């Protein structure tokens, strides 16, 4: 087995000495038995660490009890039994603080490695842009571990093909294809109405879809396309789903941002306005628009977390990887060439999906939000993200832009608590 949500240390000083055995109680506490002295203790005999096992059994496992009261575990996938709790291999160190993160994964970790050992049966997720690239691998990984995944895509034909491909590999996977075009706020509203009408819960919302390198174009709502697709429509989608996220709590919102958010020009930030966010053709630059939209992802995630964390909804943003060769670069031949040349030196799509999955299911992130992740580890985002009230200002501008374009019947629900 590999990792569940947090891999146990693999350093040699964490190995069990001779004559010792690592065991776990039914309530998840790890203890150590010294067979030579016939004693037990709660701390590791070499490192002095205390550990616990958390969460459900790995996918496909079941705990049973014999007639004489002995507990054993059945691996239905591999048709094996053992008296050892399979979660013991992934026991977590007891930490003094939930913010005490340790680097457990890196840029080489795949999404499947993040999820190994997890049973997500009963969990419901939405992944935007799920038909290709990182979104596809995110969906495939979640669905293969029992999660019910809604593929929220503009191109439903491509999404149906993606779903069929996953089902061929994992016949019991539960997936639904639903159309949403982020270049149309009405389409976003239609999608959320349809989802909510099914009365499904929502535990994981992964905002993965995005565009890059577009020439200046306007959406049907009269807004610059990069801004609306990468930010405003995802804000609207989240807000319309917020009541469901709250009733399904604990739930998580994950925004796929980029390290490009660090390269936003200062003037755009200091003079944040509707025109800066959605500029006319005469003031438009493709990379500037993309960088600013990615900064908006981080700021929105921070503000969303501040407003709804107490209601059980947390939000984090992340960078998936540098210049991965996907459909994101499809809009200009030069971008396609640059991404193709960089392909041997970048992550695979499975590796690119790893940080999204870490933010979505890691048990150490339960109740923790407002952070920015790279390679499955929190890191400091752009200094702009620490400017007083900038996230609130973006929230207010976004809210006004949506209200101006939607009828009173489509008013944004649940404004939450002002975090300023």
Task: State how far the alpha carbon of 306 is from the alpha carbons of 99, 243, 418, in Å.
Answer: 16, 16, 8
What gap in Å lies between CA 217 and CA 225, rounded to an integer?
6
- Considering only CA atoms, give the Rg of the chain: 23
The greatest distance separating any two alpha carbons of the chain, rounded to the nearest whole angstrom, comes to: 80
What gap in Å lies between CA 412 and CA 241, rounded to an integer?
10
Residue 171 is inside which H or E element, if any? none
Residue 374 is inside which H or E element, if any? strand 372-374
DSSP string, 213-250: SPPS-B-TTSSBHHHIIIIIHHHHHHHHHHHHHHHT-S
| Catalytic hit among 290, 308, 325, 384 | 290
Q: Is 290 a catalytic residue?
A: yes
What gap in Å lies between CA 398 and CA 223, rounded to an integer?
12
Whether omega before 39 lies within 30 degrees of 0, making that bond cis, reads no
Question: What end-to-end distance do the CA atoms of the chain give, in Å?
Answer: 45
Residue 338 is inside which H or E element, if any? helix 333-342
Q: What are the φ and ψ backbone dihedral angles of 255, each rounded to 5 degrees?
A: -110, 125
Q: Which residues neighbour 22 within 8 Å (Cβ) at sequence distance 6 or greater?
A: 16, 30, 31, 32, 88, 91
Residues identified as active-site? 290
């Amino acid at each position: 087995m590999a990792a569940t949500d947090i891999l146990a240390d693999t350093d040699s000083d964490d190995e069990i000495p001779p004559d010792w055995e690592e065991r776990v109680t039914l309530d998840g506490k790890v203890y150590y038995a010294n067979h030579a002295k016939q004693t037990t203790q709660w701390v590791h005999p070499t490192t002095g660490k205390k550990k616990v096992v958390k969460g459900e059994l790995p996918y496909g496992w079941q705990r049973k009890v014999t007639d004489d009261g002995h507990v054993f575990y059945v691996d239905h996938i591999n048709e094996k039994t053992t008296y050892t709790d399979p979660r013991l291999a992934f026991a977590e160190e007891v930490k003094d603080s939930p913010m005490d993160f340790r680097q457990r994964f890196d840029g080489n970790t795949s999404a499947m490695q993040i999820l190994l050992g997890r049973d997500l049966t009963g969990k419901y997720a939405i992944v935007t842009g799920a038909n290709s690239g990182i979104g596809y691998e995110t969906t495939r990984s979640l669905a293969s571990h029992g999660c019910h995944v809604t593929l929220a895509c503009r191109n439903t034909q491509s999404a149906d093909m993606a779903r069929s491909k996953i089902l061929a590999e994992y016949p019991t996977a539960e997936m639904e294809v639903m159309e949403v075009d982020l270049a149309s706020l009405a389409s976003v509203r239609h999608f959320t109405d349809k989802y909510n009408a099914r009365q499904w819960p929502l535990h994981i919302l992964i905002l993965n879809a995005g565009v890059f390198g577009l020439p200046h174009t306007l959406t049907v709502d009269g807004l610059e396309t990069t801004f609306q697709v990468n930010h405003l429509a995802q804000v609207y989608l989240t807000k319309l789903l917020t009541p469901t996220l709250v009733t399904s709590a604990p739930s998580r919102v994950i925004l796929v941002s980029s390290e490009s958010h660090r390269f936003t020009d200062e003037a755009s930030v200091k003079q944040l306005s509707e025109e800066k966010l959605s500029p006319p053709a005469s003031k438009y630059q493709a990379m500037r628009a993309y960088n600013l939209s990615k900064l908006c992802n981080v700021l929105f995630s921070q503000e969303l977390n501040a407003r709804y964390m107490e209601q059980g909804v947390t939000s984090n943003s992340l960078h998936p990887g540098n210049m991965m060769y996907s459909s994101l670069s499809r809009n200009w031949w030069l971008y396609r060439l640059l991404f193709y040349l960089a392909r041997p030196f970048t992550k695979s799509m499975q590796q690119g999906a790893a940080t999204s999955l870490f933010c979505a299911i890691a048990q150490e992130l339960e109740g923790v939000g407002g952070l920015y992740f790279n390679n499955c580890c929190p890191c400091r985002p752009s200094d702009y993200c620490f400017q007083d009230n900038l996230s609130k200002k973006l929230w207010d501008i976004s809210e006004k832009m949506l209200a101006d374009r939607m009828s009173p019947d489509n008013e944004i629900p649940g404004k939450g608590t002002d975090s300023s």
